[in-house]
Structures are given as C-alpha cells and as structure tokens.
Amino acid sequence: MSADETLHVTCPACAGVNRVLAARLGKEPVCGRCRAPLLPGRPLELDGPGLERFLARNDLPVVVDFWSPSCGPCRMMAPQFEQAARTLAPGVRLAKCDISAAQDAATRHAIRSVPTMVLFRAGREAARISGALPAGDIVAWVRSVL
C-alpha cells in the first residue's frame, strides 16, 4: 500500500468506521467518534454481531481466532495469539470470537473445531487454519497468505 492511501478502519470500541492514511497506521490512531485507540496491538474480543460489524467495512486484514473457553488448546494458545497481535500490528488486526457465546458466528463461518483461525481480507475469508499454533507459526502463516 502507498503512504497516501486512505483505509477504512473499524473502531473496536464503538464500531465507527474511520478513514486513516496508511502513513499514520503506525502512529497510534484514535477513533474520531469515541477517541478509543483504533489499533491497540492486542486481540479484540468480539461477539457475533460485533464480528460482522467489524468485518463489514474494514480495509485491514483481520485474523479471527474462533475459540471456546472449554477448549484446553485454545486457552494455551491465548498468550501466543496476543504475542502474534503485537508482532503483526498495525498492518494486521487480530480478534477473538468465543463461539460458545456466539454460535451464530460459528455457523455462519462454518467453524467445525476450535481453535480455528480465519484470515479475512475486505470482509471475505482468504484462508483458515485449525489447531493451536505458537506465535511464530501464526505470524508465518499470516504472512504466507498476505
């Protein structure tokens, strides 16, 4: 992307759509509506409707970890996913969706096992991978797709 390109970035707090210059992505942009940090560099927690709003108008790639609190490998992967979020910020956004509380999202995205990570580009699925991974492998997978 070029530095003067404008990107739509959904706010994780209010779901407002912000327009951010690509050159400013790394400068801790805040939401024009609610002032929340747009790209906090940690995984966002999204419920089912929140996930759809988040994906609808957002130009940055999003990796969603579909997980469940009752899944041991999911819990083990959580700190790895947080580390990957720091490594991939600000160009890639990471989010978590607890499918035990968002079964509509699990159905819509055809999640058959947890953890499953789905990479979305412009709101559409670009790739998915199932099973817990260490941070380095998450980052390598994302970069191999983008």
Q: Which residues are catalytic?
A: 71, 74
Q: Which of the residues 74 through 113 are near Zn ion (CB under 5 A)?
A: none
DSSP the chain: --TT-EEEEE-TTT-PEEEEEGGGTTS--B-TTT--BS--SSPEE--HHHHHHHHHT--S-EEEEEE-TT-HHHHHHHHHHHHHHHHHTTTSEEEEEETTT-HHHHHHTT--SSSEEEEEETTEEEEEEES---HHHHHHHHHHH-
Q: Which of the residues 14 through 73 are near Zn ion (CB under 5 A)?
A: 14, 16, 31, 33-34, 36
Shortest distance, position 29 Cβ to Zn ion, whole Å: 11
Q: Between residues 34 and 140, which has the closer beta carbon with respect to Zn ion?
A: 34
Shortest distance, position 6 Cβ to Zn ion, whole Å: 17
Contact residues: Zn ion, CB under 5 A:
11, 13-14, 16, 31, 33-34, 36
